[in-house]
Structure 1
C-alpha cells in the first residue's frame, strides 16, 4: 500500500504504512526480504522530504541486500527479482524524489544491468529501468544520451503488452517531441519507432 500510494502520487500516509510494515517484518525476515521493507521506508521518507533520514535508510537497505545471496524469498517478494536490483530501483526512485538526478541515473543503470542478466530473466523490468534511466539523463540535459537509452528500452519492450510499458512509451514520446523542437537529431527517428511500437501494441 505504501509503494502504491507513492506510485499514484498520493503519499500522505505512506510513511506510517511503510513504518508499520517494517515493524512487522523486523526480526522475522532474512536480510534480503528485510531490505525490501527498509527501502520502502526510505522511499516514503524521500517523498516526505526527509532527505537525511531517507539517505540513512537507503544505505541500510543496500547493506541488507548485499547480504541476501542465496536467500529463498517468498513468491510475492521474488517477483521483482533479486533484492539487490529491487533495492537499486527503489533507491533511484527515492533519489529522483529528492531531485538527485545524477545518482538516480546511476541506480537505474545498476538495476538495468542486474535485471538484464540471463539468470534474472526480467526483460520487462530491465526495459522499465532503462526508460527511467533515460528520464534521469533528460532531466540533466543529456538529451542525446537519453535517446540512446530509450532506444535500448524500446528494443526490450518489443512484444511486451502491459499498461506500465504503454505509459512509459507514451511518456518517452512526449519528451521526444520536445527534443525534436530543440533540434535533437536522434529524437525524430526514435519518436517514429516509439509511434510504431504504440501502433503494434495497441
Structure 2
C-alpha cells in the first residue's frame, strides 16, 4: 500500500490522495499496531512499515505546503522507527525534515537535523543508495548555512555512495525514487545555493535528461522550473522561457504546492520584462497565471 501511494505522490503530487493515505494510517494501520504479534521481529517490522507510511503522509503534506501537519507526521514516523529499532528509517525521516527546513528558510535547524540523519547507525546501517540520499540533503543544509567546502565534500561523498550501490542491495522500498536524476537535482540545488550557477545548470540538465518523467512527473516539473530560474538569473531569458514552457507542460494533473511555487517564481522572474512586448514572455506569463488559477 505504501509503495502504491508513493508512486501516486511521485506522479501526481502530495495534494493527490493524501486523505486516503491518512485514512489508511489512522484506521487499518493503527489497528495493526494495537494488535498481537507472533514475535518481536514481526512487531518491529510492523512498526517500521507503519513509520514509512507516516513518513509518506508527512512528505505529501510537505509537498502540499501543509507544513505544520507534515512536521507532526514526521515526528510520528521517527517515533515509530524508534519503536522498530530501525535506525536507517529514522535517518530517512530526519533527512526529510532537514529538506523541509531548508525550503522554509531555517538553515540552522536544517543543518542540525541533517547532521543527526547521518550520525551513527542511521548512516552506517543504511544501504549505499539511502546513504547517498541522506548525504546529498546534508550537503544542501551545509550550503544553506554558507559552509561551501563542507557542502562540496558532502556532495562528493553522496556521489560515491550512489556509485557503490548495486542491483543486489536490499534497498528499502522508500528509496525506489532515488537514482542519478534525484542526486543530480539535489546536487544542482546545492551548487545553486553556493553560487555556482553554471554547475547548477549542468546538474539540472543532467537530472532532466536522466529522469523517467512519466513516473516522476512532479519532481520533473519542479526540476525544469528550477533550471529555468537559473537560466533567467544568468540572463538567458528566451532559454528560460523555453524551459519554463516545458515545466508547465509537465504540470498538467499535478497537485503540488512546490509545483505551484515554481509557477509563481517564474512569473516573478518575468515581471521586469513583462511589459516589453516579447510574445514568448507574454504567452508564458499567461500560461503560468492560468495554471495557478486552475490549481488553486
In the superposition, the TM-score normalised over structure 1's length comes to 0.89
Deviation at 1:182, TM superposition (A): 4.9
Q: Does 1:145 align with 2:233?
A: no
Cα distance change on mapping 1:69 and 1:135 into 2, 3 Å: farther
Q: Does 1:58 align with 2:152?
A: no
- Structure 2 distance, partners of 1:146, 1:200, is 23
- Structure 2 distance, partners of 1:73, 1:7, is 27
**Could you say which residue in structure 1 is the equivalent of 2:188?**
92
Deviation at 1:91, TM superposition (A): 0.9
What SS is found at the alignment partner of 1:144?
A: helix
Q: Of 47, 57, 75, which residue of structure 1 is paired with 2:144?
A: 47
CA contact (8 A) 1:115 1:126 kept: yes
- Structure 2 distance, partners of 1:130, 1:122, is 12
**Could you say which residue in structure 2 is the equivalent of 1:36?**
133
Deviation at 1:57, TM superposition (A): 1.3
CA contact (8 A) 1:43 1:94 kept: yes
What SS is found at the alignment partner of 1:23?
A: coil
Deviation at 1:9, TM superposition (A): 0.2
What SS is found at the alignment partner of 2:132?
A: helix
Q: Deviations over 1:28-80 (max 9, x none)?
A: 012111011111221111111111111111111112112224245323333xx
Q: Which protein is bigger by CA-based radius of gyration?
A: 2
User: What is the number of equivalent residue pairs in this alignment?
Assistant: 198
CA contact (8 A) 2:133 2:178 kept: no
Q: Deviations over 1:136-164 (max 9, x none)?
A: 10111111000000000000101212222
Q: Deviations over 1:105-138 (max 9, x none)?
A: 11111112222355xx111111110000001101
Q: Of 250, 254, 270, which residue of structure 2 is paired with 1:156?
A: 250
Which stretch shows the higher mean deviation, 168-177 or 127-136?
Answer: 168-177
- Consecutive unaligned residues of structure 1, counting only runs of 5 or more, are none
- Consecutive unaligned residues of structure 2, counting only runs of 5 or more, are 1-96
Deviation at 1:27, TM superposition (A): 2.1
CA contact (8 A) 1:144 1:184 kept: no
Deviation at 1:183, TM superposition (A): 5.1
Cα distance change on mapping 1:69 and 1:172 into 2, 3 Å: farther
Aligned alpha-carbon RMSD (Å)? 1.8
Higher relative contact order (CA 8 A, sep 6+): 2
**Could you say which residue in structure 2 is the equivalent of 1:73?**
171
Q: Of 219, 226, 242, which residue of structure 2 is paired with 1:132?
A: 226
- Structure 2 distance, partners of 1:159, 1:185, is 26
In the superposition, the TM-score normalised over structure 2's length comes to 0.62
What SS is found at the alignment partner of 1:34?
A: helix
